[in-house]
Structure 1
Amino acid sequence: MKQKELIEFLNKKVDEYNQPFFIKNDPVSIPHLFTKKQDIEIAGFFAALFAWGNRTIIINKSKELMSLMNNAPYEFCMNNDLKRLQHLLTFKHRTFNSTDLLYFIEFLQHHYSNHDSLETAFSKWMNKDDADTKNALNGFYNYFFSLEDHPLRTQKHIASPQKNSTCKRLNMYLRWMVRNDKKGVDFGIWKDISPTQLICPVDVHVARVARYFKLLQRKQTDWQAALELTQHLRTFDKNDPVKYDFALFSLGVMGKFN
């Protein structure tokens, strides 16, 4: 397929899947349960971090956690009553357990005690002229684990470019929070990070489709692969390269590249 044909094909698939119907069966449905900015941020953060494996399980476990938080995650995190935490001790999603969850809540309370939005946990490490979110992701990782006596086991749940991870889940989270195309899926509630700086989330589905269309040559699926793919997508749309996540992911899930 020639490049012009490929761009037209992928744009068509973006338009097809970047629609409200996409929300129901995707982890992005979790932050869509809320209207308050901080609730959207926290619900989205957990849903994105849980997003590996079966999507139905991801959604159900995210809903379970939101229920344990009384469906008011911001208020729950900011509540200093330690008794509220007791019924979280049985929560588990794959390798994410109550030890991790309690630290996440501790960090969120710490951050929101000093900031109105979770955006600053990422954006304050960036420069306006940064080509991408590498500094934001590395800065967030270091900031997230800056609290005293953080559990070493919890470090595996936050990816960063400095660990050469694709950062798929955090890149997806940033897509949700930053992109604002008014199509109804992504929220666009963060303004200090530009859609042009976003990196495409790369999982096995996206990587497989990207290699099929020769958008990705690198054999390893790592941070450099995410950069390579995003740079290619910028030649298709320099202002909004990550919109093609809708096309690549959906094609990969279906297993049909046409």
Structure 2
Amino acid sequence: MLKSLRRLLSRGGQSPAAGVFESWATERGHAFRRVRDAEGCVIEGRLGTQPWRIEWGEPQRNYIAGHELRLMAEFNLPKELQVLVLNRQLMETMEKAVYEQYVDDVQTRIDTETPSEMRWLVMYQKQPAADLGRLRDRYGAVSSVLPWTQQWLASPLSDALAASIDAVAEDHPVTLTIGRGRLTLRTAMDEPDAQRLAQWVSVFEHALREARRLGDEWRDAAGAGQTTQPSLWEHIGPTDPDDTTQRLPPRG
């Protein structure tokens, strides 16, 4: 009796806000679950045979206020490939913070507590504005392999990102990263919004599809000795679309 009452009170204490996401997931046949003892939820689905996951809840990055929406997938890319695409206002804010924290304070290194997005702004080259095309006024990018990222941003991903320009304000934080074989999209979403969720899922799926395609093409070119960055791809084995052995950790 006491256990039943506790479960009832626990359910009653949860915000109904995530129900918007539950309906969206159910309509599309995705798995949905609420986060225990917190306001948040997890949605798991697939793009073809490629698994992906959506998390909505407390922010993991200090540049996001309120709730954070995270979309993640792991797949077969070189772990050395590091890419960051983000809205330009956030990029400028991060660059200023890096300067103030690590130059004005005469620090000579960036510690591991600094978000990877901020570290990458210092570590990697900026993507030339010409590579960004119509995205250049809203988005910026840095990368460890500029030619690969240029192709990625010139793909149908460009259309999906361009569609987001009118949907959110210029200062709305958005980051799209590739690192250690994981693609992640982070953005602010204080209240569940099914229409906005669908738009970010579209951006994410375009990014995922094109990253996998380019990864395969560059790996094949490396095998034929045709790429300018063979060291990143020559030891990568064939992509197995049915390989779901990689699992995303609960948080991180």
TM-score where L is the length of structure 1: 0.29
Higher relative contact order (CA 8 A, sep 6+): 2
Structure with higher Rg: it is 2
